[in-house]
């Protein structure tokens, strides 16, 4: 899309609707009008605190009972084996939480700890040392692996206690209004299995909302390739690129779509990784134990708790969880008719936000489920990695993503965050306390869009926030 200065917001709104040049995927998608059905046919007109928990509006009858069973596995509190509910036991020996829902709170997002004394209740810390694992992924820290498990079954020492400390940094809008942004620093206290290597890298991550993921999974790889612009050939200052990761579901290298750095290619693999790394559940895809030989209490506990046959997360539940993740509905946009929402959408595009937060994507005929095929929908992401500058950097590479690159976060459902989660902490580590702070943290490829926002008149900024609040 052509970059427009701030004044263009007021002078040239007509330019935004220009017809696309044939063959230009980006221009064609940009030219499609926004509709309140943000999730295409999967959309549901819901705006209550359980708005992220509904099945897709177009779900087939046959998928409804499967979805319900997937929901049961997602909200279950898992017990150590043998537990009172044989379907949902096998937790640990090391783990972060006892259920998926602990971090994907009401299918929305987690929140960061308030300070060093607070636990990571709905977030986690990834770790690695320089180098790559055999699949090209992050190089695990010896003994500890690639994620800290701060909890253990009885007799199994937790790996460490992540502590988060915040520092404030002040800034000003161009009109003089002051703001303050806060940044986390993570340390790993009480390591139970020896000191961490000096070059250990950490990355604090919030659980993300899990709506509309089946649609994101079904966008053809060819679209993402067409949207990526690694060398910034179109000269717009934005050079999104794909993360390419090893997918356990297909045993192939594929384009990454899930996680804050697009570090997972398929929901099947993402779910299995979550089950293992976050809750210690083995599965057919990852039939391994979390504990290393240097963690003997854990190895022993895992041996005792091994199911007689199958895995902690059995094949049937894995399949049901997959359908659940694929068919969660996207809530309908609210108040699209309000003038401030309409002006906000125009400004969102004119400021350059839509260059990464692509308003419209489409799925093709080949989708994971028929409900997801041939959909036009509005996720506000290009699923690509962007250099967001030093401010947001975690300095921890993840597959092809560098320490400064992040996947464009989808913005559908954003306006329901307060209602669903009772807070508005945003960004990968939850540092932003509201939408404006999230925007003000943008840098790197998004520096220009951020500056456009920071230097806009208050009325324009409020329109943008009204628009985002309607999503
Ligand atoms: C301890 C917290 C925690 C638990 C428990 C947890 N997750 Fe997650 N989940 C996360 C975080 C953090 C991310 C982002 C990961 C990243 O950036 O690498 C994530 C990402 C995801 C995603 C990708 C979402 C997206 O928008 O890209 C899916 C799907 C998912 N988790 C499913 C599950 C399932 C299924 C379970 C239960 C088996 C589960 N999670 C348990 C924290 C958690
Ligand atoms: C160069 C690409 C790019 C541009 C341009 C851009 N963003 Fe983003 N945006 C991102 C990425 C990447 C993230 C995730 C960053 C992170 O979590 O650290 C993000 C995150 C966000 C979030 C937080 C979402 C969440 O789930 O936590 C909001 C809100 C947002 N952007 C709004 C905007 C607005 C408004 C504009 C225009 C002023 C804009 N962005 C411009 C790439 C971009």
Tens-place pLDDT, residues 382-431: 999 999 999 999 999 999 999 999 999 999 999 999 999 999 999 999 99
> Is the CB of 409 inside a 6 Å radius of any atom of ligand 1?
no
Measured in Å, residue 16 CA sits from the centre of ligand 1 at: 36
Nearest to 30 by CA among 264, 214, 236, 231: 236
pLDDT at 55: 98
> Is the CB of 392 inside a 6 Å radius of any atom of ligand 2?
yes
pLDDT at 309: 87
Q: Looking at ligand 1, which residue's alpha carbon is closest to its atom 41?
A: 100
> Is the CB of 356 inside a 6 Å radius of any atom of ligand 2?
yes
393 alpha-carbon distance from chain centroid? 16
Percentage of the chain modeled with pLDDT above 90: 92
Measured in Å, residue 346 CA sits from the centre of ligand 1 at: 33
> Which single residue is written with the structure tokens 């401030």?
340
Q: Looking at ligand 2, which residue's alpha carbon is closest to its atom 4?
A: 446
pLDDT at 8: 39
> Is the CB of 149 inside a 6 Å radius of any atom of ligand 1?
no
pLDDT at 23: 52
Nearest to 283 by CA among 293, 274, 296, 292: 274
Q: What are phi and psi of 452, to 5 degrees?
A: -55, -40
* Rg value, the chain, Cα: 22
Nearest to 394 by CA among 188, 204, 260: 204
> Is the CB of 412 inside a 6 Å radius of any atom of ligand 2?
no
> Is the CB of 148 inside a 6 Å radius of any atom of ligand 1?
no
Tokens of 2: 């052509």
Q: Looking at ligand 2, which residue's alpha carbon is closest to its atom 22?
A: 438
Q: Looking at ligand 2, which residue's alpha carbon is closest to its atom 30?
A: 439
Give per-residue pLDDT as tens, 277-331.
Answer: 999 999 999 999 899 999 999 999 999 998 888 899 999 999 999 999 999 999 9
Question: Which bound ligand lies closest to the C-alpha atom of 434?
Answer: 2
Q: Looking at ligand 2, which residue's alpha carbon is closest to its atom 36?
A: 353
Please state, in angstroms and rounded to a whole number, the distance separating the CA atoms of residues 471 and 461: 16
Please state, in angstroms and rounded to a whole number, the distance separating the CA atoms of residues 403 and 318: 32
pLDDT at 234: 84
> Is the CB of 275 inside a 6 Å radius of any atom of ligand 1?
yes
pLDDT at 401: 98
**Candidate of 91, 119, 274 to mutate for ligand 1, largest count of ligand atoms within 8 Å of Cβ:** 274
> Which single residue is written with the structure tokens 């059905």?
37
pLDDT < 50 regions, the chain: 1-22
Evaluate whether 42 touches 215 at the Cβ level (below 8 Å): yes
Q: Looking at ligand 1, which residue's alpha carbon is closest to its atom 35?
A: 271
Q: Looking at ligand 1, which residue's alpha carbon is closest to its atom 11?
A: 207
Neighbours of 93 (CB within 10 A): 27
Tokens of 11: 């002078």
**Candidate of 401, 408, 412, 424 to mutate for ligand 2, largest count of ligand atoms within 8 Å of Cβ:** 408
Neighbours of 111 (CB within 10 A): 21
pLDDT at 325: 98
pLDDT at 374: 98
Alpha-carbon distances of 52 from 68, 154, 419, rounded to whole Å: 14, 34, 10
Alpha-carbon distances of 442 from 137, 215, 388, 406, 434, rounded to whole Å: 26, 26, 6, 11, 13
> Is the CB of 426 inside a 6 Å radius of any atom of ligand 2?
yes
Evaluate whether 38 touches 330 at the Cβ level (below 8 Å): yes
pLDDT at 236: 86
223 alpha-carbon distance from chain centroid? 20
Measured in Å, residue 274 CA sits from the centre of ligand 1 at: 6
In terms of C-beta distances under 8 Å and separation of at least 24 residues, what long-range contacts does 166-173 make, across chains too?
166/115, 166/431, 171/440, 171/454, 173/454, 173/455, 173/458, 173/461
């Amino acid at each position: 899309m052509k970059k427009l200065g701030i004044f263009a917001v007021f002078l040239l709104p007509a330019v935004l609707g220009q017809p696309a040049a044939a063959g230009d995927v980006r221009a064609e998608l940009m030219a499609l009008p926004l509709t309140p059905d943000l999730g295409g046919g999967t959309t549901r007109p819901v705006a209550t605190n359980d708005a992220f928990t509904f099945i897709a509006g177009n779900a087939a009858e046959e998928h409804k009972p499967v979805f319900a069973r997937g929901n049961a596995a997602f909200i279950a509190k898992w017990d150590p084996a043998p537990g009172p509910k044989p379907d949902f036991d096998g937790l640990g020996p090391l783990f972060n939480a006892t259920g998926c829902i602990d971090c994907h709170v009401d299918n929305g997002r987690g929140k960061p700890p308030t300070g060093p004394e607070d636990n990571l209740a709905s977030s986690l810390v990834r770790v690695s040392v320089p180098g790559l694992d055999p699949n090209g992924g992050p190089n695990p820290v010896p003994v500890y692996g690639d994620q800290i498990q701060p909890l253990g079954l009885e007799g199994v020492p937790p790996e460490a206690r992540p502590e988060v400390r915040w520092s404030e940094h002040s800034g000003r809008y161009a009109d003089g209004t002051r703001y303050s942004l806060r940044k986390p620093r993570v340390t790993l206290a009480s390591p139970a299995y020896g000191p961490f290597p000096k070059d250990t890298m950490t990355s604090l991550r919030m659980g993300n909302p899990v709506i509309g993921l089946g649609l994101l999974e079904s966008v053809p790889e060819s679209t993402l390739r067409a949207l990526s612009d690694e060398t910034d050939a179109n000269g717009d200052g934005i050079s999104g690129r794909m993360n390419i990761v090893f997918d356990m579901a297909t045993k192939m290298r594929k384009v990454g779509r899930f996680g804050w750095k697009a570090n997972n290619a398929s929901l099947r693999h993402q779910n299995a990784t979550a089950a293992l790394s976050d809750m210690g559940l083995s599965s057919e895809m990852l039939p391994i134990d979390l504990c290393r030989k240097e963690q003997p209490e854990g190895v022993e506990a895992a041996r005792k708790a091994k199911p007689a046959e199958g895995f902690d997360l059995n094949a049937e539940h894995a399949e049901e969880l997959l359908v659940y993740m694929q068919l969660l509905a996207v809530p309908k946009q609210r108040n699209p008719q309000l003038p401030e929402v309409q002006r906000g959408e125009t400004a969102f595009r004119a400021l350059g936000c839509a260059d990464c937060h692509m308003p419209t994507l489409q799925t093709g005929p080949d989708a994971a489920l028929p409900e997801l095929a041939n959909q036009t929908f509005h996720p506000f992401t290009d699923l690509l990695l962007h250099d967001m500058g030093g401010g947001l950097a975690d300095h921890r590479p993840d597959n092809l993503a560098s320490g400064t690159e992040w996947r464009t976060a989808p913005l559908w459902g954003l306006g329901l965050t307060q209602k669903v989660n009772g807070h508005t902490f945003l960004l990968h580590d939850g540092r932003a306390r509201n939408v404006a702070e999230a925007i003000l943290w943008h840098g790197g490829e998004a520096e220009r869009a951020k500056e456009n926002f920071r230097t806009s008149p208050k009325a324009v900024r409020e329109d943008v926030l009204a628009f985002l609040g309607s999503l």
